[in-house]
Amino acid sequence: MQMTPAMLELCKELKYLRSLQLVTRGITHNYNNIFSGLLGNLQMSERSRQKSELDTPTTLVNRAINETEVLFGFARLVETKESVWSFTTIAEEAIRALRTVSPKYSIKLQCHNSFLKVKGLYSDLVLMLFYLVENGIEAMPEGGEVLCEVSMDSDGSRKPWIKVVISDGGPGVDPQITENLFSPFTTTKERDKHHGLGLFFARKTAEDNDGQLDVSTHLSGGGCFILRLPAIFPDELRNIQAFKVTTTQPPADNHTRHVFFVIDDDPNLLDYLVEGLQRKGHIVFSASNCAEVLEEFDNVHDIVTLLLVDIGLTDTDGLACMARLGKQCKLPGLIFMSGDKDIGCSEKFPGALFLSKPFTIRQLEELANNVSTAR
């Protein structure tokens, strides 16, 4: 069916509103449980001061706040300018909304490379994943598990791709409709409930972003969608090979170049350090908390030469974070930084140095050249 641009926009909005209705219905149900529990808890508190195993009013209110954030975020999925996004963020946004639908569904996300990025419109990318996982949910009216597995793939020419496999425990796809499955208004569901637009827009978004979307039957019998999108790497990852080549010989300006991994929870300072070091010719990775470091450092640990760590992180202190990271892999050179005095960094990490805030990029570079990398 040939659709005019006006028809395409109307159908796109219709499908989004249907999905928003689905999420709203699930969150409304959750709110009913939250406030019923809150009311019952308050009534119990009035009758007895004894310790109860029920959720506290504070816990219930926090649950309500979290539900509001999900609905608020999904309801504000409007087109923004095309940009580069973390695919993990895209997938988490879509699945977080779908997890509100019903407790009888288990939706699991497995991301094997957190550095994978994709270029496109944020709202379109989130809804593309939403529609694919939503289709898996609809295939299992009695409940079940949908798995969304994200990894890096190649087409044989070393061109990097993001590969997403979405599988469910439903009956699979009827071969008779496979050919038309991605056409508008093609559906195996009841007509009064669905319009067959989700898969159409999912494939259109994939193709608009130079990707592809296919369907097959899983070995276990369930449905399986395979999505591929061009992977966009940060400049520092694209330049790793070039960096290795240029550093095989001493630079002409006698300027030592490093591969930094900077960890600081102050966004302004983090931007200053990343941009300042990059301007000096260094390669820089960054994270704003310990959880990000533990997840992402494994991808680049073999090339990072220096870790620059803020001692006062929000989720833990820098020393404890490095102790945990050291259990995962061999640590490179370490520089701890803080606005307070040195609390014995070198005693816990022999060879590590301390840098007192504030400092300049030049001071950091001078100190970096004296860090011991023997661990």
Query: With a threshold of 0.95, does the pTM exceed it?
Result: no
Give 357's contacts (C-beta < 8 A, 6+ positions apart). 337, 338, 339
Residue 193 — pLDDT band, cuts 50, 70, 90?
A: very low
Domain segments of the chain: what residues? 5-230, 235-368
Identify the residue whose tokens are 């808890």.
41
Rg, C-alpha atoms of the chain: 25
Look at residue 314 and tell me whether its pLDDT is greater than 70.
yes
Which contacts (CB < 8 Å, 24+ apart) does range 349-358 have? 349/319, 349/322, 351/375, 355/308
- What sign does the CA torsion over 124, 126, 127, 128 have? positive
| Three-state DSSP state, 78 | coil
Query: Is the pLDDT score of 295 beyond 90?
Result: no
Q: What is the mean pLDDT of residues 44-70?
A: 66
Q: What percent of the chain has pLDDT over 90?
A: 10
Q: Report pLDDT for 371.
A: 78
Mean pLDDT (whole number) for 310-331: 88
Residue 375: per-residue pLDDT? 41
CATH match of 5-230 with 3.40.980.10: no
Rounded distance, CA 98 to CA 23, Å? 7
235-368: in CATH 3.40.50.1970: no
From 43, 92, 93, select the one nearest 72 (Cα to Cα): 93
- Mean pLDDT of all residues in 52-62: 66
Q: Strand, helix or coil at 320?
A: helix
- Residue with the larger pLDDT of the pair 111 and 179: 111
Summarize pLDDT for 223-280 with one digit per residue, the tens: 788 999 988 765 544 444 443 333 333 343 445 788 899 999 888 788 889 888 988 8
